[in-house]
Amino acid sequence: MTGNSHSIGWAQRQAGDRFSSRVLQVDRNGQLNGITAGILNAGDKNPAFGNESVGPSLSFLNGLAAQRPDLDAIVAVARGQGSTGFVRGKWDPAEANRGNLLQSALRRWNSAYVALLALGCEVEPIAAAHLSSRPDVDTSDPVSLTERAREYALHVDAYVDFVRANLKAVPPDFPVIISAAMTQMQVRMLGAPALTFLSSAHGVAWRKARTWFMDPINDWGDGEAANLPVHSFDGTHADRNGVLTEGRLLLAGLQKARDNRDPRLPFSGLPETARLLSLYDFRAGGLTDLAGREDIEQGGATPDIVGFSSVFGTFAFHRDGPGGSGYLRRAALPARFSIVLRLCFADTRRAHTLLTTGGPLERPLLVVASGALVVPGHGGEIAVPLTADDNQPVTVALTCDGKQMSLIVDGVVQGRVAAPADAVESLRLFPANATADVDFRGQVQYAAIFDDAVSPDLVGMLARARFAPSR
């Protein structure tokens, strides 16, 4: 376990089936420091380290122990602040090879693993990283913000790859959990733009098996961020009532990482030129986003609109309230963009709107009418008859190169129309009349947004790829 506050040594079962945790921490100079106060409980502070809370690690360790009554002890190799190697949102694999705290932690873990195996122990390796770096970014520039968020997500990817490559003699896909307290601090300092980083970094769970990316802000629920404690460290690990929650969330993330055996093909193998901005999965009986959360079903009701923007990722809201709910702000998509939909129509004869532009002048982009898929346009339209087999999936892409919009169906270009004259501020899926569950869970398997006009070959690849539900 690496990162701020991950300062644990071991949890050991005591008489009466109670677990205790002893705490150790390694400072920036690689010195091992023991906490002499004895056994600490979750939430206790360590005066030797600026009263930093050791609660998240302890509660995670004890929670794991409670789940596994067959275990006598859980051994953890921990490193303190700075051990992930992230600095202001950036991580350089080259720097990780220069004897920093991360390398030291990996060496200690390898030694512990070999020793435990020599004792005949059955060992399940688990990696948990707690990131609290704060990317330095210009929040007034949506393009720069989006690019930095993508860069951050790739750094998280590289971190997971590095850890897995440097732990010896372990399964290559052992569970990795990433916790991002960084987003909490960012939201307090920068406001909603920080969520861009969160949305991007969540993609690690879509690109790698046996991983999970979690953040305490969204897992605590809407509105919690505004009520977080402002005290140093506490707001990173506790809810608004001061209850330490991160350890519990890490534990839940561990189970999700174990279960995540499907890295959301075919998106894990996309060419580098096809830059995925946002991906929404409708396959698993609920609306799930990049992190697999289903909280977009507000109060158990399907939202009227699911939308996408380049800055604020995915949002959803009902029409019965001004402005709706969720995170939504007007922010223009790139001039070149694409949306790819995997559709499986429940009824091709029913007319309805699939996709519109956002902004004050909402315009239809993709509709179903008279048994055909239609793209309205100035001076004409594109119309593609739908198959009579209502359950036959079709992969549809609407691409925009800034001047024209093209409709691609299963890898074949069906036609082109002029792009909207004004900038497309956002894309809205099922914009007005699609509140029935069948619309979301029956007709759309996934929706993906790219920051470029994707090629017919890419759409064809997505149409042919295996895309089985992950759960």
More confident call, 253 vs 207: 253
Residue 403 has pLDDT above 60, yes or no: yes
Residue 297 DSSP label: S
For residue 235, name the pLDDT band (cuts at 50, 70, 90).
very low
Q: Do residues 432 and 317 touch, judged by C-beta distance below 8 A?
A: no
CATH, range 267-464: 2.60.120.200
Cβ neighbours of residue 141 closer than 8 Å, sequence gap 6 or more: none
Q: What is the pLDDT of residue 293?
A: 38
Mean pLDDT for all residues in the chain: 62
Q: What is the pLDDT of residue 118?
A: 82
Report the range of poorest mean pLDDT among 91-100, 190-199, 210-219.
190-199
Q: What is the pLDDT of residue 294?
A: 39
Mean pLDDT of 422-428: 71
Cβ neighbours of residue 126 closer than 8 Å, sequence gap 6 or more: 174, 175, 177, 254
Q: Do residues 57 and 78 touch, judged by C-beta distance below 8 A?
A: yes
Q: What is the pLDDT of residue 355?
A: 83
Report the range of poorest mean pLDDT among 31-40, 97-106, 171-180.
31-40
Span 128-149, pLDDT tens digits: 776 655 556 666 665 566 567 6
More confident call, 108 vs 52: 108
Mean pLDDT of 272-290: 53
Q: What is the pLDDT of residue 324?
A: 32
Domain ranges for the chain, please list them.
Answer: 2-259, 267-464
CA distances from 266 to 206, 365, 464 (A): 10, 25, 9
Q: What is the pLDDT of residue 131?
A: 65
Mean pLDDT of 315-326: 36
- Residue in the structure block whose two tokens are 């980083």: 197
Mean pLDDT of 199-221: 58
Q: Which of 439, 445, 444, 440 is nearest to 350 (CA)?
A: 439
Span 13-25, pLDDT tens digits: 555 544 444 444 4
pLDDT > 90 fraction of the chain, expressed in percent and rounded: 5
Q: What is the pLDDT of residue 334?
A: 74
Note the pTM of the prediction, 2 decimals. 0.56
Q: What is the pLDDT of residue 439?
A: 45
Q: According to the per-residue pLDDT averaged within each range, which of 47-51, 312-316, 462-466 is highest? A: 462-466
Residue 178 has pLDDT above 50, yes or no: yes
Mean pLDDT of 401-418: 92
Q: What is the pLDDT of residue 416?
A: 92
Q: What is the pLDDT of residue 407?
A: 95
Cα separation of 196 and 178, whole Å? Answer: 16
Mean pLDDT of 428-457: 64
Cα separation of 383 and 101, whole Å? Answer: 59
